[in-house]
Structures are given as C-alpha cells and as structure tokens.
Structure 1
Amino acid sequence: MTGAAVYLLLGLSLLVATVLPLATQRIALSPPMVLVGVGMLFGLLPMADEVSLDPRDHRDLVVHVTEFTVLVALMGVGLAIDRHLHLRSWRSIRTWSPVWRLLLVTMPLTIGAMTLIGWWVAGLAPAIALLLGAVLAPTDPVLASDVQVGEPITEDVAEAEEDDGVEEDDDIRFALTAEAGLNDGLAFPFVHLALLLLAGGFTALDAGAWIGWYVLGKIAAGVAVGLVVGWLLGRQAFHTRVETLRLADAGEPLLALAALLASYGAAELVGGYGFLAVFVCAMRLRASDRGHSYQRAMHGVVDRLERLMTLLVLLVLGMAMTQGLLSDLDWRGVLLALALLLVVRPLTGYAAVRLFCRDEREEGGLDRGEMAAVAFFGVRGVGSLFYLAYAGAHEHLPDEPWLWSTVAFTVIASVLLHGVTATPAMARIDARRGRSTSVG
C-alpha cells in the first residue's frame, strides 16, 4: 500500500468520522457500525493484501494502540461524570448504588458464567475459559458513547442545559459510564489469574498471593496514585497562588493528557493498575473545581483524541475481518458471544440492580425500564481486544487464533446489536422520563 493511498484512505476516514456523529443522531445506526463497515470495504481493496493484519504478527503494536485508546476513553469519561462521590459520606456513596452493584455482582457473575460455559459447553481448558471470561467481562468506555454521559456540565452552560430540558444527571447513562470507567481496571486480577494458571504450578500459597497482591494490593495502589496525581494537578490548575501557573485561567487543556500519562506511568511503576489510576485521577481532577469551564476544554481535547484512536482501531478491525480475522470462528465462538450479549449480561445485570434496589425516586434509584436498559447495554469493545493482546504477549495461549476470532466476533456483534438498539431505546426512555416530569 503506497504512502499516497494511505493518506487518502486516512483522510476519507477522518471525514467520515467527523460527519458520522451528526448524521446518525436520529437513526438507529451508530458511528462504530459505519466505521467497521468502512474498514471492511478498505480491506477488500487489492492494496490491503500487502499488509498483514494478523494481531499475532503485531503483538506489541496491538497492545499499545488498544491500551492508549482505552486510557484516553477513561480520562474522558472520568472528566464527564458530574455526580459527586465523597467517600466519607454514606449518602454520597449510596447515589452510586447501581455502579457498585454492576461491579461487585454483575462482573464476577459474568466472568464465572462465561468460564463455565466455555469449559462445560465449548470444551475449553479451564484456564483458557477463565481468560476468555475475564477478557469479555468488562464493558467498554470507547464504543458506548450512545449510552454514556456527554460533556461535563459546568456553571457557564448549566442554566442553558436546564432551559433546553436536558437531563443533567441521568441515572442510566451515569451507571453505564461509571461502570465502564471502573471495570476495565477490575478485570485485570482475573486476567492475571488465568495467566498464572496457564503458567502451571498454581498452589494454595499462590492463591493467597493473588488475592493479596493482584486483587487488593494493585487495586489499592492504582486508586491511591490516581487520587494523589489528580489532587496535585487539580491544585496546580485551579488553586495555585502563582497566577501565571494556573492553567485553568490560561485555558491550556493539554493538562488532561499530562494527567493521563502521569497517573498511568506512576501507577504502573509502583505495580498498581494504571487503568484505575487514570479514571480515578480524572474524577479527582474534575472534583477540584466542577463548575469551571476549563473542565469542558480538557474534555474536548480528550474527546477529539478518543475519536481519532477509535477511528484507527475500528478501521483496522474492519479490515482485519475481511483479511481472515474471523477464519477460525466456529459454533463455540458464536455461542459464547450470543450467550454473553443476550443472556449472561442481561440476567446478571438485571439481578444486580433489581435486588434490594433504591427507591426509583431517589438519586441512584432506577425503575424497571431503566434497570432493563442498564442490564442490556453492556457494550464490549476495545478493552477486550487489549486484554487478549496483553495475555498473548505475556504467555503462550493455546488456540490463540480461535480466541482472536471469538473476541473479535463478540465485539462486532456488540457493536451491531447495541448500535441498532441504543438510539431508539434511549430516546424512548428519555421521552417517558420527560412525560413523567411534566406530569409531576
């Protein structure tokens, strides 16, 4: 593929990515669906045969590109969440009730269910079944824009948003956004457990070390680093006494990228989970001064970068599909993907938010329709691609081509299923909420 052709394809793709969000606002067609389709068309061009798109041939590149894409998305959703979280306030913690339920109930149940299905039904080795469950369990902050919160609401636009009838704090979008922001990091312990099992010689002592370090220690380290970096940068940006160093007043939004890189790098250096650190850092930075217009400026920079990275990943994924990425897919992979999207996630999600739920009139409470939406819209995406690439880079994976075909098929199926249903479903829920508000 010549350099000129690459520039032409990238330019056309960027144009498509720029126009898509506006063109698909009112139709049941999401930008990710179109981008994957464009990638498939590119993959059919004769010049595409000159480049290998097998992820095993570009392990390190796939790891780093998908990793950075998820990191950018985590920073974006962390800056966008408007709901306060004060760890010393039980009332504040309870407003996050749907999120805790999705993380502590739905995610472990999803991993367990997918492991059992993979082991008993698909005949996978237990370690591979667990790895597949851990890879597919986390929802994605990259491809779920239709069911996530939008830009941060600041003082300069809050009144205008209210006048336009925009819901400032949507429990459905909030729950799905916060879940996607947190569970990308929380899937790591189970990925590590699968890798330890694949390495062999896993004993009871190893189980204790896994719980103590991979579950508790690395999570605590990631959260701590995120809080510290977010607090320090927030103080510097909004409250430093040296006016020339107060970036919020200067309007320089690249602080968001500095925060992303610093928190991720620091967390990884101390052995913590960098994904968690980035999301927590973004939330702490947001809490430094929620009403400042600088929050929207930072989010704008991150949002544009996220769109570029998503464009790249989806185009390559679409091209790879027409170049043999799905060639190893069989009935087992199809069964696992459909079971996850149509049975496991909806049932475990609904069970988590339905049992002992808060009153729907309280903040953090959901009615039955909203519970069903939260349970259903567990979008799978770039995070799953990263975890599989990460596992393949650290341990030999039996049936790795089949794993790639299965995970890629699951991501594509999620993009199609949730992309078609998100716009009409959310529009219906928003309309019903508006009618309820007007009646009240």
Structure 2
Amino acid sequence: MPFALWFVVAGLLLTLMALGKTTLSRLPLSTAQLYLLVGLGIGPLGIGLLVIDPVDEAGVLEVLTEIVVILSLFAAGLKLRTPLSDGRWKLPVRLATISMTLTVFGIAALGVVGLGLPLGAAILLGAVLAPTDPVLASDVQVESPDDTDRLRFSLTGEAGFNDGAAFPFVMLGLGLLGLHDLGTGLGRWLAVDVAWAVLGGLAVGAALGMGVGRLVVHLRRVHKEAVGTDDFLALGLVALSYGVALLIGTYAFLAAFAAGLALRAEERRESGDEPAEDVETMAHEGAAEEVAVDDHVAPAYMASAVLGFSEQLERIGAVALVVLVGALLHRAEWSVDALWFVPAVLLVVRPLAVWVGMFGSSTSGVQRHLLAWFGVRGIGSVYYLMFAETHGLNDGFSDLLLGLVLTTIAASVVVHGLSVTPIMRWYARRSEVEERKANG
C-alpha cells in the first residue's frame, strides 16, 4: 500500500468519525463496528490494501495492542473516584476473580470436550477470551469520575482488573504446553506468576501513581512549577509504571490500572468529597496556568487534564487496532465449531460465571442480566494471543486458536455494538424512574 494512501485512508476515517459522532450516538451502532468494517474492506477479504500475517508479525501486534490496552487501563483507573473503602468495589473484584476464573475454565472445558484441545491449549484459549475489554467497552463504562451506578462501575472496574488478572492463566496454559516453567506441583506458578506478579503489579502502580500525584500537586501549589505538562505527566506515569512493573517481573497491565486509581485517589484526598465535576468546572473557569496552581482546584485540574489526554490517545489507538482486527478477519474461524463455540462463550459461559460471581451481592436482577451480557471481547484478547505466539505457540494449535479468538471478537463487536445504545438508554430511563420513586 503506497505510503501516501495510508494518510488518505486514515484522514478520511478520522474525519468521518468526527463528523458522524453525534449521528452514531443516536443509532444502535458503535464506532468499533465501523472501524471493523473499514478494516474488513481494506484487508485481504476486501480490496487487499492492508495485508498482515498475525503469526509472522506477532511481535509487532503484541507491542501495538499492549500500548493501547495500557493507556486504556490507566484511563479506566482515573475514571473511578469511588473510595476503595466503598462496598461497590466488591462487585468488580468478584467479577475479575471469581467470574473470570470460572470463565477461563468454562471456555477450557469447551476446548477440551468440544474441540479436542489438550488441557494447556484449552486453558490458554480460556485465558485469552476471559478478560473483558477496556478499549471497546467504553459505552457501558462510567460516564464521569463521580458516576457510582453499580452496573457501569462494575463493568469499568472489571475491565481494569481482569486484563491483568488473566495473565496467570495465560502462563498456566503456556506452562502446560511446555512453554513456561510452572515449578514442581505448580509451586513456581503460584508463588511468582500469581502472588508476586499480581500483588507486585498493583503495588508498583499504586506507589507511583500516589507519589507522582503528590509531587506534582506540591510543585504546583508551593513552587508554581510543573505547569502545562499534563500530557507528559500522563505518558510519563504510564511508561514509568509499565517499565518498573516489567523490570521486577510483575504485570504491567495491573500496574497501569493501579497508577490511574492512585492518581485519582490522590486527587480525592486533596479535593475531599466535593464532586469531581464541580471542582473541574471551577478549574476551567479561569486561565489554565492560574487554575493549575490554585490551592483548591490544582489536584482536580491535574486529574482532569491527564484523563482527557489519556482518553484521546486511547481513542486514536482504538481506531488503529480495530481496523487492524478487521483486516485480520481473513484468518477467522468460520467452521462448524465456531458456530457453536462463539454463542456458547457469550451466551452460556459468561452469564453463568457472572451469576455465580454475583451470588449474594446487592445487585438487582436487571443489573446481573446486563453484567452477564456486556462481557465485551476485544483488543486485550488480541494482545494475549500475540503474547502466546511470541512465546512459542506457533504450532498445530495456533491457527485454531487464532481463528476462534478473531471470530469471537468480531461477534462481540457486532452484537454488543448493536445492543449497547438501546439497552443503556432503557437502563438509564429505568434508573431515573427508580430514583424518583426512592426520593418520594
């Protein structure tokens, strides 16, 4: 594809999306669906302008998807202003632990019984498809930092946690295939891949997010320094948490999410219980440099600016990666196996895992149904599969896993994209009616 033509395609796509964003918001469509169609059109199944082999280029795809997911996880953490002591946090933690573990082994059971995969490959398939996607699930996530709706809060927190929490199962699958050292009796896996890597990743991100946040606020309030650098702050904190997490052998996804959470927690500690939207409105009423160093609103201004920049990068990355997924669909699995496997994952395994994970919780029946339905699959699954490819998966199972994962992602983009607008509007109206009834 000529280099200049890339700019033409990218420019047309971004311009059309900018002009049509308002129209799309009124239709039962998502931007991800259109990106997928563009990728399909310019890929091998269309006019053949974008041709890439996911096995040969697994290393490049791994890096690209990892960057987008990390930015998305950092932004997801910044969106969640609810204190960790709040009981609402129990819901995403349940989803990211109990429900995700059940999803991994539920999909693995389908792989062993229905597809004839060995246990290691089946667990790897489950680990790749189990995490929900923070990139493509933005339409069902919190609408503002102070949004505490149980459904949106749970889906946002789940996507933040489980993209890192799936990593131990990826390593378990690779280990059972002889591609990773699990230790005697799974000892090394439990100690290093589960305990150390998970807890260490969360600790690294939390420490860096809190430390950087306090340092910036101190410099701005006391010394009137470090002003106008919020874009560098976002990139720097993401890169720092990512790099340190990898250097000490922990999960960078969890570190990025924890860094966003910690930076937001630091803003809340400084700003108090005043709603973030109110503080940020006050912050934007004055000149940016003056507001950035104001004693009262400096923390909120910092968090708001960093979140805004991170979301812009996330959206740009989502365009590129979903178009790429569309181009890769020539490697999707359109066999009889896919016809039963994909519905089983989306309509059976995910709902059962959510209902078990939510048993005894304070969620309503409607919320549980919607939590079960909106298990969006996307860029995170592509990353994990490319990670497995670069770690030696390229064997007899590679094509089957690649085909099933791409088919599941495409199905998720289509069915969840078609349903998200009408369902979330209905849910919003229902929530408003219930709130009015509760207030008398």
TM-score scaled by length of structure 2: 0.88
CA contact (8 A) 2:171 2:180 kept: no
Pick from 100, 113, 124 the counterpart of residue 120 of structure 1.
113
Q: Distance in 1 between matches of 2:4 and 2:361?
A: 57
Distance apart, 1:411 and its partner CA: 0.4
Name the residue aligned to 1:223. Answer: 202
CA contact (8 A) 1:334 1:406 kept: no
**Structure 1 386/204 Cα, relative in aligned 2: closer, same or farther at 3 Å?**
closer
Name the residue aligned to 1:137. Answer: 130
Name the residue aligned to 1:356. Answer: 360
Q: Distance in 1 between matches of 2:357 and 2:136?
A: 23
Pick from 413, 418, 421 the counterpart of residue 419 of structure 2.
421
User: Does 1:347 pair with 2:344?
Assistant: no
Name the residue aligned to 1:394. Answer: 391
Q: Distance in 2 between matches of 1:296 and 1:109?
A: 36
SS at match of 1:271: coil
Paired letter, 2:255: A
SS at match of 1:298: helix
Distance apart, 1:123 and its partner CA: 0.8
Distance apart, 1:43 and its partner CA: 2.5
**Structure 1 275/78 Cα, relative in aligned 2: closer, same or farther at 3 Å?**
same
The Cα offsets for residues 242-276 of structure 1, whole Å up to 9 and x where unpaired, read as 423344xx463431111111001000000010000
User: Does 1:293 pair with 2:316?
Assistant: no
Paired letter, 1:287: A
SS at match of 1:342: helix
RMSD: 1.9
Q: Distance in 1 between matches of 2:75 and 2:216?
A: 17
Q: Distance in 2 between matches of 1:45 and 1:198?
A: 33
The Cα offsets for residues 158-189 of structure 1, whole Å up to 9 and x where unpaired, read as xxxxxxxxxx3211110000000000000000
**Structure 1 416/204 Cα, relative in aligned 2: closer, same or farther at 3 Å?**
same
User: Does 1:106 pair with 2:106?
Assistant: no
**Structure 1 428/188 Cα, relative in aligned 2: closer, same or farther at 3 Å?**
same
CA contact (8 A) 1:20 1:31 kept: no
SS at match of 1:24: helix
TM-score scaled by length of structure 1: 0.88
CA contact (8 A) 2:233 2:306 kept: yes
**Structure 1 48/101 Cα, relative in aligned 2: closer, same or farther at 3 Å?**
same
Paired letter, 1:318: G
Q: Distance in 1 between matches of 2:46 and 2:346?
A: 34
Q: Distance in 2 between matches of 1:334 and 1:269?
A: 42
Pick from 168, 171, 179 the counterpart of residue 189 of structure 1.
168
CA contact (8 A) 1:75 1:282 kept: yes
Q: Distance in 2 between matches of 1:295 and 1:200?
A: 41
Distance apart, 1:307 and its partner CA: 0.9
CA contact (8 A) 1:70 1:142 kept: yes
Q: Distance in 2 between matches of 1:390 and 1:20?
A: 35
Distance apart, 1:409 and its partner CA: 0.6
Q: Distance in 2 between matches of 1:27 and 1:20?
A: 11
Question: Equivalent residues in 2 for 1:168-179 (5 A)?
Answer: 168-179=147-158
Pick from 312, 325, 335 the counterpart of residue 340 of structure 2.
335
Question: Equivalent residues in 2 for 1:24-423 (5 A)?
Answer: 24-43=24-43, 48=48, 52-86=51-85, 92=86, 94-153=87-146, 168-199=147-178, 205-240=184-219, 242-247=222-227, 250=228, 252-290=230-268, 291=276, 292-321=300-329, 324-326=330-332, 328-353=333-358, 355-358=359-362, 366-397=363-394, 398-423=396-421
Q: Mind listing any 5+ residue stretches in structure 1 that lack a counterpart?
A: 87-91, 154-167, 359-365
Paired letter, 1:409: T
The Cα offsets for residues 177-223 of structure 1, whole Å up to 9 and x where unpaired, read as 00000000000001001111111797771501111110001111101
Q: Distance in 2 between matches of 1:47 and 1:120?
A: 38
Q: Distance in 1 between matches of 2:398 and 2:46?
A: 27
The Cα offsets for residues 45-72 of structure 1, whole Å up to 9 and x where unpaired, read as 98635x5311112111100000001001
Q: Which moved more, 1:97-106 or 1:260-269?
A: 97-106
Q: Distance in 1 between matches of 2:409 and 2:315?
A: 18
Q: Distance in 2 between matches of 1:228 and 1:325?
A: 42
Q: Distance in 2 between matches of 1:204 and 1:298?
A: 42
Q: Distance in 2 between matches of 1:201 and 1:432?
A: 49
Distance apart, 1:73 and its partner CA: 0.5
The Cα offsets for residues 361-402 of structure 1, whole Å up to 9 and x where unpaired, read as xxxxx2111111112111000000000000010123432122
Distance apart, 1:102 and its partner CA: 0.7
Q: Mind listing any 5+ residue stretches in structure 2 that lack a counterpart?
A: 269-275, 277-299
Q: Which moved more, 1:7-16 or 1:258-267?
A: 7-16
CA contact (8 A) 2:213 2:266 kept: yes
Name the residue aligned to 2:294. Answer: none
Identity value in percent: 35
SS at match of 2:25: coil
